C-alpha cells in the first residue's frame, strides 16, 4: 500500500497564524497544505502566494470551492502558486469542464468536492469522465454537527471510480485510520490539527494513525450517552457560544464549587416554599436527569434542603436548579452536590402539594421543557432545546477546540487582540 497523503486544511482567518500553524503541522508529518476556504475568503490569493513562498516544495491546495467562472478561478489560484484547485462537485458540467481545461493549461490538478451532492456515487463517475483528477468525499463542518460522517460517504465510493480518493470532514486520529482502511489516498484534516493546542503533536498522531491504521471496534453509544459525553467535555460558556449567546439562565448562584451538572431536565412548577412536588419529582427522575424547579422566583422561603439533596443523590440525579431559594447550604456543600439557586434562606416552606411535574416552566429568564438539556457549572446554567442537543453539543466542542490553539498562542506570549486581529475584524 502506498503511504497515504496527509493534507492539513488551514481553516484559519489570519494569514500570519496560518503560516505558523502550517509549519508546525509539516513538522508533525503533514504532506500537503490546503489554503482553506475561510482563509481564502479572509485573505484572498495573497494567502496562496504567501504559503507557496513559505513552502516552495509542497503541494499547495487552494480550496476555492468553485461554483462558477471555472477558468478565471483556476487561473488565479494557479498563478498565485496553487498546484491543486478545488471545485464543487455540484457545479454545472460546464464549470467543471472549464476548470479541467484551465488546469491543463496552467499545469495544476482539479479536486472535485462532493459536499452536499445528492447522488455522490453517480456524480463521482460523471466527474471522472469530465476529467477531474481527485474526488473528495467531503462532509462539511455544519453537516458534521448533525452527525453526518465523511467516512461513510467515502465507503460508498470505494471501487466506484478509479481516481485517487480524498476524504474530509471532522476527521480525528481514529476516523482518519478508518478512512485509510476504507480506501482513502488523501486524508484531509482541519480542526483536529489546526485548532489543537499542540499542532505538531496532533499532526504526528494523525500521521501515525494513517500510516499503520489499527481499527478498534467502535462501541456504539445511545444518542443520550453521546450527547452527555459531549456536554461533559465542554463548559456552560462553550454551550452559550455555540448557541449564538442564547440559553443562559440569569440570577442563579452555584452553591457548590468544582462540580458540574449535565442531563435532560425533569421540570417542576410549584408555589413559593411548597416543597411537595419538588420532593415527589425526585422519585420520578432517572439517574442522570437534572431537576429544574420553578418556585415562583421566591427568595424568602426554601423548597429544598439537605434531606432532599440526599434523596437526589440516592436516585443518581445529576444536579438541581431552583428558580427560588435553598437552605442547608453547608451540608449540601459537604456532599459536593451540584445545586444552583437564586438565594439561600433558612426558612422551610410547607408540603401543600400545589403545582405540577414535567410541564414547561420558566426558569431564570429561560423556558425549560421536560427533556431539554441542562449544562451547569461555576459560570452558570444553560438550557439547550432537546431537538438541537446533539448539534449544540458538537458545536460547543468545536468552540472549545477553537480556543485551544488561541490559548496556546497566548501562553507563548501573544495577546487575544493580536491573535484575533481584533481591530481588523471590528464591525465597520
Ligand X SMILES: O=C([C@H](O)CO)[C@H](O)[C@H](O)COP(=O)(O)O
Residues near ligand X, by CB under 6 A: 9, 11, 36-38, 63, 140-141, 168-171, 188-192
Cell 478512512, residue? 179
Q: How far is the CB of 34 from ligand X (least distance, A)?
A: 6
Reading the block at residue 85, the C-alpha cell is 484547485
- Greatest alpha-carbon pair distance for the chain in Å reads 84
Q: How far is the CB of 190 from ligand X (least distance, A)?
A: 2
Q: How far is the CB of 64 from ligand X (least distance, A)?
A: 10
Q: How far is the CB of 408 from ligand X (least distance, A)?
A: 17
Toward ligand X, which CB reaches closer, 37 or 240? Answer: 37
Reading the block at residue 100, the C-alpha cell is 479541467
Toward ligand X, which CB reaches closer, 14 or 274? Answer: 14
> What is the spatial distance between Cα 299 and Cα 281, in angstroms, rounded to a whole number?
21
Q: Which of 372, 337, 378, 373 is nearest to 235 (CA)?
A: 378
Cell 470551492, residue? 65
Q: How far is the CB of 195 from ligand X (least distance, A)?
A: 8
Toward ligand X, which CB reaches closer, 168 or 199? Answer: 168
List of E strands, 18-154: 32-35, 60-66, 84-88, 109-113, 134-138
Toward ligand X, which CB reaches closer, 132 or 189? Answer: 189
Three-class SS of residue 69? coil
Toward ligand X, which CB reaches closer, 148 or 310? Answer: 148
Q: How far is the CB of 186 from ligand X (least distance, A)?
A: 12
Cell 480542526, residue? 191
> What is the spatial distance between Cα 298 and Cα 249, in angstroms, rounded to a whole number?
16
Q: How far is the CB of 19 from ligand X (least distance, A)?
A: 17
Toward ligand X, which CB reaches closer, 62 or 268? Answer: 62
- At a CB cut-off of 8 Å and minimum separation 6, what does 171 contact? 150, 151, 179, 187, 188, 189, 192, 206
Q: Which residue is nearest to ligand X (CB)?
A: 190
The continuous run of DSSP H or E covering 326 comes out as strand 319-326
Toward ligand X, which CB reaches closer, 50 or 323? Answer: 50
Q: Which of 97, 99, 126 is nearest to 114 (CA)?
A: 126
DSSP letter for 348, please. Answer: B
Q: How far is the CB of 42 from ligand X (least distance, A)?
A: 11
The continuous run of DSSP H or E covering 46 comes out as helix 45-54
Toward ligand X, which CB reaches closer, 89 or 303? Answer: 89
End-to-end CA, the chain: 53
Q: How far is the CB of 39 from ligand X (least distance, A)?
A: 9
Q: Which of 341, 342, 302 is nearest to 320 (CA)?
A: 341
Toward ligand X, which CB reaches closer, 205 or 342? Answer: 205
Amino acid at each position: 500500500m502506498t503511504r497515504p497523503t496527509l493534507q492539513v486544511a488551514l481553516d484559519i482567518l489570519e494569514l500570519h497564524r496560518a503560516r505558523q500553524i502550517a509549519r508546525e503541522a509539516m513538522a508533525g508529518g503533514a504532506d500537503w497544505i490546503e489554503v482553506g476556504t475561510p482563509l481564502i475568503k479572509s485573505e484572498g490569493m495573497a494567502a496562496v502566494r504567501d504559503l507557496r513562498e513559505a513552502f516552495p516544495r509542497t503541494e499547495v491546495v487552494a480550496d476555492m470551492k468553485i461554483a462558477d467562472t471555472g477558468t478565471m478561478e483556476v487561473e488565479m489560484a494557479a498563478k498565485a502558486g496553487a498546484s491543486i484547485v478545488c471545485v464543487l462537485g455540484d457545479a454545472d458540467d460546464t464549470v467543471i469542464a472549464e476548470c479541467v481545461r484551465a488546469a491543463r493549461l496552467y499545469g495544476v490538478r482539479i479536486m472535485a468536492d462532493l459536499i452536499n451532492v445528492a447522488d455522490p456515487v453517480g456524480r463521482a463517475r460523471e466527474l471522472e469522465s469530465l476529467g477531474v483528477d481527485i474526488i473528495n468525499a467531503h462532509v462539511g463542518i455544519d453537516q458534521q454537527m448533525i452527525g453526518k460522517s465523511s467516512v461513510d460517504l467515502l465507503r460508498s465510493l470505494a471501487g466506484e471510480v478509479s481516481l485517487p480518493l480524498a476524504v474530509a470532514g471532522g476527521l480525528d486520529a481514529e476516523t482518519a485510520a478508518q478512512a485509510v482502511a476504507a480506501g482513502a489516498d488523501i486524508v484531509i484534516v482541519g480542526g483536529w490539527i489546526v485548532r489543537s493546542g499542540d499542532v505538531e503533536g496532533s499532526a504526528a498522531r494523525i500521521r501515525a494513525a494513517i500510516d499503520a491504521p489499527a481499527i478498534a471496534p467502535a462501541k456504539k453509544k445511545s444518542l443520550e450517552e453521546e450527547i452527555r459525553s459531549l456536554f461533559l467535555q465542554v463548559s456552560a460558556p462553550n454551550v452559550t457560544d455555540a448557541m449564538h449567546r442564547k440559553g443562559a439562565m440569569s440570577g442563579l448562584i452555584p452553591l457548590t464549587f468544582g462540580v458540574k451538572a449535565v442531563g435532560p431536565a425533569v421540570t417542576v412548577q410549584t408555589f413559593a416554599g411548597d416543597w411537595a412536588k419538588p420532593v415527589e419529582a425526585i422519585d420520578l427522575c432517572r439517574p442522570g436527569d437534572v431537576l429544574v424547579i420553578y418556585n415562583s422566583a421566591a427568595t424568602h422561603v426554601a423548597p429544598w434542603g439537605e434531606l432532599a439533596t440526599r434523596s437526589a443523590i440516592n436516585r443518581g440525579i445529576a444536579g438541581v436548579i431552583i428558580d427560588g431559594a435553598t437552605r442547608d447550604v453547608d451540608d449540601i456543600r459537604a456532599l459536593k452536590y451540584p445545586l444552583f439557586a437564586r438565594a439561600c434562606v433558612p426558612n422551610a416552606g410547607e408540603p401543600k402539594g400545589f403545582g405540577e411535574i414535567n410541564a414547561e416552566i420558566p426558569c431564570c429568564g429561560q423556558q425549560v421543557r421536560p427533556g431539554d438539556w441542562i449544562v451547569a457549572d461555576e459560570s452558570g446554567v444553560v438550557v439547550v432545546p432537546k431537538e438541537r442537543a446533539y448539534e449544540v453539543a458538537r458545536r460547543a466542542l468545536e468552540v472549545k477546540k477553537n480556543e485551544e490553539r488561541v490559548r496556546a498562542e497566548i501562553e507563548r506570549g501573544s495577546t487575544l487582540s493580536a491573535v484575533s486581529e481584533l481591530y481588523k475584524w471590528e464591525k465597520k
